[in-house]
Amino acid sequence: MSIRIDTDRLMARIFELGKIGGLPNGGCKRLALSEEDKAGRALVTGWFQALGLEVHSDVIGNTWAIRPNKFGNTERPVVMGSHIDTVGTGGLYDGNLGVLAGLEVIESLIDAGVETERPVAVAFFTNEEGARFQPDMMGSGVAQGELDLAEMLASVGIDGMSVSEALDAIDARGDEPVGALTPSAYVELHIEQGPVLEVEDLDIGVVTGVQGISWSEFTISGQACHAGTTPMAMRHDAGVVAVGIALEARAIAQEFGTPQVATVGRMHFAPDLVNVVPEEARLTVDLRNTYEEVLKKAEARLFAKAQALAEAEGCTIRRQSLARFEPVAFDPDLVESVAQGAAELGFKSRRMPSGAGHDAQMFAPHCPSAMIFVPSKEGISHNINEYTAPDQIAKGVALLAKVVLAQAGPEQTLPGTQQPAIAQGATS
């Protein structure tokens, strides 16, 4: 008995979904709960329904589709999930691959007539990116009780709309309560979004965990004044403080060394005019580290410096936390199952932490969770040139199928039976 992963079918869906919010030079912009997200949700949910799966949506728009087990039961499914929202300079694979690969695995099971001991499901979660509304991993965080629903619904995006208003604007609010999705295990296929697998010429990343994430927004208030007439000693230049904070973030990353990273992704001055000293400046700082204690040190140093810079300039400063997640370790047995599966399929792999946040980190405290990485060309992601080749994707999906079947236990794997082999290539 074998299951055939149809890579052509999967790639066709990746490209079709990628057209929604497609950008002129490639890639796509499908911000969470935007009109483009609405269209993407409709397309993917339509694919779930076309397979006859039992589709559910919860109060923050997370959506999942369940294939019952051989007894018709849908409790505690093995879930394959990720996200279909993208950043503004999104590629075709970040998140989308994990959702459409899960769909492909289920369709391959149906094609092969393979029943499973446990139900299997595929899911997409609302606002994984955190680009429009913060924090990231919002939907999966709410679903697993890691984030408060009311607080998240009230989160106001960079365009001034709240999550609640945006859910209603695209009619994405479902009727299932928080916690309605209770996986027996969670497995996520995702692109690496970094250079390691390509540099080391490997097929698969066996992800051991996710690093800690700290997002802050600083608002600095100074005094608008004339750029020409105001003596330097009289100025309260909010812009200079913001730039000082950005330089300190970079210095922390350089002095702490790998795995510490620091990013200033947003910076805005007001009134944002060439001849007016900025009276207000806002910037975001994204700090990440695999080690919680070091991440805390990086935060303490940055926050102290920000305060000192503001005081020296006679400005006031306010910090708002936009996201704060501690490092997460995935289930050692499930991680081992990923490594074992890669070896059995003849794929070259290595264990590695994830630099990016993922929905899987929200499931890790609640059920055995793991991730599978496939390579990113030149380590690029959150960029329209993000790319992973079909043959690399095929290996990731074959391994996803293998790991999920080991968890879902198709009848063939009952004691004394054989796991179905996993072939690749088009069925047609």
What is the spatial distance between Cα 147 and Cα 340, in angstroms, rounded to a whole number? 33
Contacted by 107, from ligand HGY, Mn ion, none: CB < 5 to 8 Å by type? none
| Residue 322 binding ligand HGY, by CB under 6 A | no
| Residue 6 binding ligand HGY, by CB under 6 A | no
How open is the CA angle 61-65-66, to the nearest 5 degrees? 140
Total chain residues near ligand HGY (CB under 6 A) = 6
| Residue 95 binding Mn ion, by CB under 5 A | yes
Contacted by 130, from ligand HGY, Mn ion, none: CB < 5 to 8 Å by type? ligand HGY
Residue 56 CA: distances (Å) to CA of 59, 108, 296: 10, 21, 39
What is the spatial distance between Cα 326 and Cα 307, in angstroms, rounded to a whole number? 24
Residue 349 near residue 208 (C-beta atoms within 8 A)? no
Q: Of 127-135, 151-159, 313-321, 343-351, which segment contacts ligand HGY by CB under 6 A?
A: 127-135
In sequence order, the 6+-apart residues with CB closer than 8 A to the CB of 308 are none
Residue from the set 85, 104, 129, 188 that interacts with ligand HGY by CB under 6 A: 129
Q: Which is nearer to ligand HGY, 27 or 130 (CB)?
A: 130
CB of 134 to ligand HGY, least distance (A): 10
| Residue 94 binding Mn ion, by CB under 5 A | yes
- Cis peptide preceding 68, ω within 30 of 0: no
Q: Strands, DSSP E only, in 253-294?
A: 261-263, 267-270, 276-277, 280-289
| Residue 128 binding ligand HGY, by CB under 6 A | yes
| Residue 283 binding ligand HGY, by CB under 6 A | no
Q: Of 90-98, 137-145, 177-185, 264-272, which segment contacts Mn ion by CB under 5 A?
A: 90-98
| Residue 130 binding ligand HGY, by CB under 6 A | yes
Closest CA to 401 of 120, 84, 184, 117: 120
Residue from the set 98, 119, 141, 357 that interacts with ligand HGY by CB under 6 A: 357
| Residue 192 binding ligand HGY, by CB under 6 A | no
H or E segment and range at residue 394: helix 390-408
CB of 345 to ligand HGY, least distance (A): 28
Task: Using DSSP bridges, classify how beta strands 328-329 and 204-210 pair: parallel, antiparallel or unpaired.
Answer: antiparallel
Residue 63 near residue 57 (C-beta atoms within 8 A)? yes
Q: Of 2-10, 112-120, 126-134, 260-268, which segment contacts ligand HGY by CB under 6 A?
A: 126-134
Residue from the set 53, 65, 101, 356 that interacts with ligand HGY by CB under 6 A: 356
Residue 406 CA: distances (Å) to CA of 92, 282, 337: 29, 49, 8
**Residue ranges binding ligand HGY (CB under 6 A):** 128-130, 136, 356-357
**Residue ranges binding Mn ion (CB under 5 A):** 94-95
